[in-house]
Amino acid sequence: MNFRRQRTEEVSVNLTPLIDVVFLLLIFFMVSTTFTRETQLKLDLPQAVSGERVENRNIQQLELTIAATGEMALNEKALLNPNLSNLKAALQKESGGDNMLPVVITADAQTPHQYVITAMDAAGQLGFSRLRLTTSEVGADEQQ
């Protein structure tokens, strides 16, 4: 009997296809990821002695936030150019044409009066009659 020695083939794993797949997955996740920039305005509310506390916050409403610098956000969506026409368009879009929704205006204590008047004017021109201004209670800052 003549037994021949079998050649041992070198076993190797080709990593090139694996690297290609990982690279394609990396590109896919980088392209499909959305990067959102959350914007929030820092406010120091004006203080008032009188006023009514609103307990039911589950009702649908439009919340317009005005910073001391005049930056505005409607329902936490920043308005790029907060002039009268853009503000009216944003209010109309957010309300869906329902001018019976309450509009809550939350302005910083240092906000120039003109910005608040512009916001009230825009809401009034669209027929919103339920306007509310947000304040903090006097002495609430000392308790915290």
Q: How far apart are CA 35 and CA 51, in angstroms?
A: 41
- Give the domains, in start order, of the chain with CATH numbers: 47-143 (3.30.420.270)
What length is written for the chain? 144
Select from 75, 69, 101, 100 the least CA-distant residue to 87: 75
pLDDT tens-digit map of 88-109: 888 888 888 888 888 888 888 8
Instruction: List the pLDDT tens digit at each of the 144 positions of the chain.
Output: 677 777 777 888 888 999 999 999 999 988 888 766 555 556 566 666 666 666 555 678 888 888 888 888 888 888 888 788 888 888 888 888 888 888 888 888 888 888 888 888 888 888 888 888 887 777 655 444
Q: How far apart are CA 49 and CA 62, in angstroms?
A: 25
**Inter-axis angle of helices 113-125 and 84-95, to 10 degrees?**
50
